[in-house]
């Protein structure tokens, strides 16, 4: 809020500096600040809240835990039914899932598996949210 500090005791505008205040001066400053804040609130917080009339504000609190226990075969079937990507991309995604499946079934340590899989996951995330939502939970669950 511009000029918020105007009229407060112990404020030196030219130096942009507040000096310590106490007693009556402090009480007066607090009353002044409270009045300014109430005015600002009553004006609907100008320059602070930009309302978007076309999109309503939405807050989602999801405290549910989703358990994902898909096999790689089930995952492949789901990916084949994703409509937001074309057939060529579906084939590429299925190839990547096969690659991930091999890595997960290998005898490598978890950290080594993760090193191999994370670049594939980045590639998968680039294919869109519909793909990522299907693939990533299954992959992470398979690495447990």
> Using one digit for the tens of pLDDT, what is the confidence trace for 49-103?
555 455 555 455 545 444 456 788 888 888 888 888 889 999 999 999 999 999 9
CA–CA separation, 87 and 119 (whole Å): 22
On whether both 133 and 107 belong to a single domain, the answer is yes
What is the C-alpha to C-alpha distance for residues 96 and 123, in angstroms, rounded to an integer? Answer: 9
Tokens read off for 94: 């299925």
Please tell me the predicted confidence (pLDDT) of residue 2.
Answer: 61
Residues 44 and 16 in one domain: yes
128 belongs to a structural domain: yes
Domain coverage including residue 8 = 1-54
Report the pLDDT value the prediction gives residue 65, as an integer from 0 to 100: 46
- Is 59 among the domain residues? no
From residue 54, give the alpha-carbon distance in Å to each of 8, 47, 50, 57, 121.
40, 19, 12, 10, 35
Three-state SS at 28: helix
Residues 76 and 42 in one domain: no
* 107 inside domain: yes
Higher pLDDT, 34 or 85: 85
pTM above 0.85, yes or no: no
Q: How many structural domains comprise the chain?
A: 2
Q: How far apart are CA 69 and CA 74, in angstroms?
A: 9
């Amino acid at each position: 809020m511009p000029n918020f500090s105007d009229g407060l005791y112990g404020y030196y505008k030219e130096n942009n500096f507040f000096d310590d205040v106490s007693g009556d001066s402090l009480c007066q400053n607090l009353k002044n600040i409270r009045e300014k804040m109430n005015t600002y609130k009553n004006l609907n917080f100008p320059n602070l809240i930009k309302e978007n009339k076309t999109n309503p504000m939405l807050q989602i609190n999801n405290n549910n835990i989703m358990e994902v226990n898909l096999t790689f075969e089930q995952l492949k079937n789901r990916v084949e039914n994703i409509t937001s990507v074309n057939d060529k991309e579906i084939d590429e995604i299925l190839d990547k899932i096969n690659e991930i499946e091999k890595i997960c079934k290998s005898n490598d340590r978890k950290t080594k598996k993760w090193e191999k899989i994370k670049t594939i996951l980045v590639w998968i995330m680039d294919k869109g949210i519909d793909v990522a939502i299907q693939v990533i939970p299954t992959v992470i669950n398979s690495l447990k």
